[in-house]
Each structure stands twice: as C-alpha cells, then as structure tokens.
A and B are shown apart, each in its own frame.
Chain A
Amino acid sequence: MELKGIKILAFGMIAEKINASEFYLKEVSNTNELLSSLNSLYPQLKEMKFTISVNRRIVNNNEPLNADSEVALLPPFSGG
C-alpha cells in the first residue's frame, strides 16, 4: 500500500487560501518541517495567523509527526 503522507485538515480562511479542506503531505517529520513545507507549497499562507493542532491537541513547540499523525491548521474567527 502506498503511503499517502500526513493528513492535514484546514479550516476557515486557510482552507480558502489553499482551496482544500483536507490534503496530505509527505516527507515531513515534525511541525517545523511541516510549516516550511506549507510555506513553499502555499506562499499565500505566509501572512496568515493560524494555530497547529496535532492529533487534536494544540501544539506550541516543534512537535514530531509520524505517518498516523493528523494535523489541523486552525485560524481564529472574529465574526458574530
């Protein structure tokens, strides 16, 4: 079976900017690598603020990722 890579979920304006709410990224072993990979794939994300959640826990530091990891890119909303 071919590995699809790490599952990434995108929300709000992040999903809008990259035109996908779910995609896969290969060859990233931690969240720092994931961020630089995202920045080169989607330069439009560079100016966006978002928080990263790994396996449904928000992470603030560089976090290791493996094939089973699920990552979410979470932007803040302000509307009401």
Chain B
Amino acid sequence: MSRFERQINLSGFGPKAQQQLQKAKVLVIGAGGLGCPVLLYLDAAGVGTLAICDGDVVAASNLNRQVIFSESDITKSKAEVAGIYLKQKYSDINIEIINKFLTVENTLQIFNAYDLIIDGSDNFQTRYMVNDACVLLNKPLVFGAVYQNEGQVAVFNVSDDNAVSSNYRDVFPNPPSENEILNCNETGVLGVLPGIIGVMMASEAIKLITGFGKALINKMLYYNLLTNTTYETEIAPNAVAKSIIPKTPEDFYKTDYTLLCGNLPSIEWSEALLLKNNTPGKVILLDVRETHEQPKLDGIETMNIPLQSLSENIEPLNTAENILVFCQSGIRSRKAVAVLRSKFLQKNIYSVAGGISKLNSTINA
C-alpha cells in the first residue's frame, strides 16, 4: 500500500498525476508563515524534489504561524531546520536546503534548477525580483501574500487556453513607496491566515503540476479571514508592465530591487563612527553637502563631494569598501546613496540616518 493511495484513488487525479508530482522540482522561497504550510503539504503530496530557500533564522515571534519550528529551533537556520524536519518525515522526497537570501546575483542561477517557483517571501523587494526572474526564465510562479486579516493568491507566467499569460507586474506594475510598506512583523497576523493562504498556494502548485482542476491562471484571489469572503479578478497583460521587466540576465543583474522598493540602506551615527574607527582605510565618510555648509565633523576624516556634482566625481571613492554618506538632515544623503548604488554594485553604501543635525542633537542631549 502506497502512502499516496488516497490521492491516487481520487477521481480525476490517479497514478499519472502522482507520477507528475514525483517528477516535479519545486522551489519554495521563504520558510515562513506561507512557506511552512506549502512545504508540509507538498512534501506529504509527494513532490519529488522540494527546495527550501531562506537565509533567515527562527525567532520566538515566528512560532505562532511558522508551524514547522519549535521553541528549541530559535536562532537556528530556517532552511536547515525545515529541511531536516521534512527529510525525516518521508523517505521518497529529495529535499534541498538553500540557506541564503535571494539576490540579483544568485536568483537566476538558483531558479534554473527548478520547474516551479513558489513565492512565500515577506517583502516587496523579493517579490518583484522573483516575479521578474520568473518572467525572464519563463518559469511558472505561484504567488501568495498576506496583510493583517487578508490574503492574495495567484498563478503567474503560465499561459491559458488562449496562450495569454500575465505576471505580478500586470497587477501592480511598480512597488508601493517606502512609507506604505508594512509586513507581518509590524502589523501582526493570526497564524491561521498564512496557514490558509499557504495551503491554497500548495493546492495551486499541485494543480499546475498535474493539470488537475483549474489553477488561478490570469486571476488573483483575495481572501478575507474575518468575513470568510473571497474576491476573484481577472488579470490581463499590460504594456507598461512588459516595458519595465528586465529583458536579459544582464539587465536583471543591474536592477536594484532594494532601491526600487524604496528600502534604502541606512545606518545610525553610532554604528557609522564605530565602523570608521574599527576598519581603518576601508570606510569613507562622505559629506554630500555644499562645501560651505557647517558644522563640519570635528576630528573625523571625511570626504566632501556635493550631491550636485557627485555622479561626475566618483573616482576618489573607488578604493573604499564601505561608503557612509551624510548630509545635514539625511535627505540628500539618501539621494546620494541611490546615485552611488548604481555606480558601485559591489560596495556597501549607507545613508547615515538624520544627518549632522541628528549627530549634534545626540551629542548635546
């Protein structure tokens, strides 16, 4: 008797669908609130190769919804703990552990090995990057996301009967601005919500792999936990979306998804000064104010290149590994970070939060 007997016996599913599951190679991005149920159910259903990609570690606040993890897993790698757990459940599944976060450098290479991608990540940066990579590589994508008591599910980059396919950017061409963005860590969520949405994602994956039923192709489903209501809308390809997505791997590598999603990396003065002191020669403190602006930083080596002329004068920055940019109040430095990130892909570039005004108020306080 096979452990899949009950689904092989299911009318319309049968042994052929089970074989298709066994042959499938599925990558699950994020072993979080969505990823846990996706992994548990695809593992149980008999998806032959199941990869878990997550660079994060387990925290106590994850445990209300990330049901693979226990108290004893806190501070351990999510991908590793989940991988070990899933491996010991069944002997017939090949589990692959990818203990890292996706970046523009590693995403295409990782995706190449799988025939279905499932996005259970928790930020727009990853979501837009994953979508664009799937479009570029022509990989089907099962998408799910939650906000407070609501969830979204969709299947992207799969052609319908009329050979029409759509993707995330056909629904939301550009990411929301920084101040709109909130995730579960900030807004709170009941564990059952990503549980429901994650199981829906697993079910869409099974349907896509086997052709069983009708997957949410060119559709997005909204689910509301409080009212038990759903709303389904059709998606059509749109020209704007098509024009924004990187067309080649080279374009993809050059796309700065952090910036696109408004998440500019910033650093506090205390950390900035510590980094400057502890790694001499590797850190440039860059002042992007006009040369006449006061006060200067006393007793600390800085470089002054005003924002206005920054893009034409970047040579002096070539040798630094880390560039910490500051200005008067932290606004121009953010613009400068955007400029510099497009010029130096390999360097760590941060805006010092609050600028000189913040430093002085900290000292005077």
Whether A and B are associated in the same complex: the answer reads: yes
A80–B146 Cα distance when bound, in Å, is 6
Chain A residues with CB below 8 A from B187, complex form = 79
B176 touches A48 (CB 8 A): yes
Binding site for B on A (CB under 8 A): 9, 11-13, 16, 21, 47-49, 51, 53, 56-58, 60, 72, 74-80
A9 touches B231 (CB 8 A): yes
Checking B121, B148, B232 against A80 with a beta-carbon cut-off of 8 angstroms, the contacting residue is B121
Q: How far is the CB of A69 from chain B (nearest CB, A)?
A: 14
A78–B227 Cα distance when bound, in Å, is 21
Checking A9, A13, A49, A51 against B147 with a beta-carbon cut-off of 8 angstroms, the contacting residue is A13
Given contacts A11-B150, A78-B127, A79-B194, 8 further A-B contacts (CB under 8 A): A12-B147, A13-B147, A48-B176, A49-B175, A56-B232, A58-B171, A58-B235, A80-B35
Q: Can you name 18 A-B pairs with beta carbons within 8 Å?
A: A11-B222, A11-B224, A11-B231, A16-B148, A21-B227, A49-B180, A51-B171, A56-B232, A56-B233, A58-B170, A60-B236, A60-B238, A74-B171, A74-B222, A77-B146, A78-B121, A78-B145, A80-B30
Task: Decide yes or no: A47 and B177 within 8 Å by CB, A72-B231, A79-B146 being known contacts.
Answer: yes
Chain B positions 100 through 144: 1 when the CB is less than 8 Å from some CB of chain A, otherwise 0? 000000000000000000011111100100000000000000001
Main secondary structure of the interface of B (DSSP, over half): mixed
A79 touches B176 (CB 8 A): no
Q: How far is the CB of B48 from chain A (nearest CB, A)?
A: 24
Checking B174, B231, B238 against A49 with a beta-carbon cut-off of 8 angstroms, the contacting residue is B174
A2–B323 Cα distance when bound, in Å, is 65
Chain A residues with CB below 8 A from B310, complex form = none
A48, A51, A57, A79: which has the most chain B beta carbons within 10 Å? A79
Q: How far is the CB of A22 from chain B (nearest CB, A)?
A: 10
A80–B34 Cα distance when bound, in Å, is 5
A48–B178 Cα distance when bound, in Å, is 11
Closest 5 CB pairs of A and B: A77-B147, A77-B145, A80-B122, A79-B184, A53-B233
> How many of chain B's residues have a CB under 8 angstroms from any CB in A?
48
A32–B30 Cα distance when bound, in Å, is 38
B238 touches A57 (CB 8 A): no
Task: Decide yes or no: A74 and B189 within 8 Å by CB, A48-B176, A80-B121 being known contacts.
Answer: no
Chain A residues with CB below 8 A from B174, complex form = 49
A78–B222 Cα distance when bound, in Å, is 13
Q: How far is the CB of B174 from chain A (nearest CB, A)?
A: 7
Checking A12, A58, A79 against B234 with a beta-carbon cut-off of 8 angstroms, the contacting residue is A58
Q: How far is the CB of B102 from chain A (nearest CB, A)?
A: 13
A46–B120 Cα distance when bound, in Å, is 29
> Restricting to B194-235, which residues have a CB under 8 Å from any CB of A?
194, 220, 222, 224, 227, 231-235
Residue B83 at the A interface, CB < 8 A?
no
Q: How far is the CB of A75 from chain B (nearest CB, A)?
A: 8
A10–B238 Cα distance when bound, in Å, is 23
